[in-house]
Amino acid sequence: MLWVSESNMHKPVMLREVLEYLNPPAGGVAVDATVGTGGHAQALAKRLGASGTLIAIDRDATMLELAQQNLANAPCITHFVHADYRNLPEVLQELHIAPVDAILVDMGVSSVQLDDPERGLAFRYDAPLDMRLDRQQPTTAYHLLQRVKLNDLIRLLREYGGEHWAKPIARAIIRRRDQGRMNTTGDLAAAVLEAIPKKFQEKRIHPATRTFQAIRIAVNRELDDLQLALESMADCLKVGGVMCVLAYHSLEDRAVKHAFRNLAQRAREPVGVGGAREELLSTPVLEILTPKPLEPSEAEVQDNPRARSAKLRAAQRVA
């Protein structure tokens, strides 16, 4: 039975690898904490079967609605929750479900979101400067750029976008803003093209790619408390349960690596006994299943170019 249509379905990235590591048991409980349009969730639902439970979470109400449509015939029990994946412990508490067998976090932006001109996530459309993944939050990219200071914008472009031309791009954005010409995605892309000399503009990707990424991350606070959130999410796993995280740029991947490493290493915790200080060797919480992050195959990248920067890390709960 076909559950979805090509028009509203984002191609799930590294689906084979995700299923291989998560491998939820029939009758188990799996969480797709960033469900998007439901591509990964559809495959997980088949594994869970009639007695299993799928919890689908997304901060974007529109994506959650699409996922609900696409998973209408899912063969398992389903719960759809409008929330940020970083609030997973609270979501499970409200559902009275814990612990779980599998957790997936895909930090990428859906093709459906990128292809929606009203979102303002892509430079190929001249659209309002929005960039919000959760349309209920008040701050848009326009609001951010209207009040940001030059030095803060330079830092933002460098840290979140890895942009070598951060300083001239930030100056061009501020100049256009002060002239009243920073209102649309076209204005933002034009500022980048003005700032980077043509001979230095990349041919492989659009010169504005890193700037759009950096501002989107800032608007949606995508890196806020990320490492701590992932560590708390690991507590939601059963012993033997697995968490998979798909990251798409170095800052995300670094946070995932550090979160998994912190929970996988034995930590010496100071304790006081009779006035003396001793050290207690704690038991690792996770076993890292991917010493190095996995990347998509060449065939997948050819079929789905938006998967090219994906990195998959997986870890299993051991205590």
pLDDT per residue as tens, the chain (319 positions): 233 334 455 689 999 999 999 999 999 999 999 999 999 999 999 999 999 999 999 999 999 999 999 999 999 999 999 999 999 999 999 999 989 999 999 998 877 888 888 888 888 888 999 999 998 899 999 999 999 999 999 999 999 999 999 999 999 999 999 999 999 999 999 999 999 999 998 888 899 999 999 999 999 999 998 999 999 999 999 999 999 999 998 999 999 999 999 999 855 455 555 555 555 556 889 999 999 999 999 999 999 988 999 999 999 999 8
State the pLDDT at residue 298.
95
Looking at the fold, whether 210 and 231 belong to one and the same domain comes out as: no
Looking at the fold, whether 102 and 240 belong to one and the same domain comes out as: yes
Which residues face 184 on adjacent strands? 128
Q: What Å distances lie between residue 76 and 55, 73, 231, 308, CA to CA?
A: 10, 9, 28, 32
- Angle of helix 39-48 relative to helix 15-22, nearest 10 degrees, comes to 40
Nearest to 39, CA basis, from 89, 124, 136, 104: 104
Give Rg (Cα) of the chain: 21
Looking at the fold, whether 187 and 248 belong to one and the same domain comes out as: no
Looking at the fold, whether 177 and 211 belong to one and the same domain comes out as: yes
Domain-located, residue 1: no
Which of 159, 186, 220 is where one domain is finished? 220
Looking at the fold, whether 103 and 130 belong to one and the same domain comes out as: no
Q: What Å distances lie between residue 207 and 69, 191, 199, 201, 311, CA to CA?
A: 36, 10, 11, 6, 23
Q: Would you call 280 helix, strand, or coil by DSSP? A: strand
Looking at the fold, whether 233 and 198 belong to one and the same domain comes out as: no
Looking at the fold, whether 180 and 270 belong to one and the same domain comes out as: no
Which of 157, 191, 220 is where one domain is finished? 220
The total number of structural domains in the chain stands at 2
How far apart CA 301 and CA 319 sit, in angstroms, is 36
Which of 202, 220, 238 is where one domain is finished? 220
- Specify the CATH number for the domain of residue 182: 1.10.150.170
How far apart CA 107 and CA 199 sit, in angstroms, is 33
Looking at the fold, whether 179 and 92 belong to one and the same domain comes out as: no
What is the residue range of 206's domain? 118-220
Domain-located, residue 208: yes
Looking at the fold, whether 246 and 101 belong to one and the same domain comes out as: yes
DSSP 39-107: HHHHHHHHHH-TT-EEEEEES-HHHHHHHHHHTTT-SSEEEEEES-GGGHHHHHHHHT---EEEEEEE-
Structure pTM?
0.88
Domain-located, residue 113: no
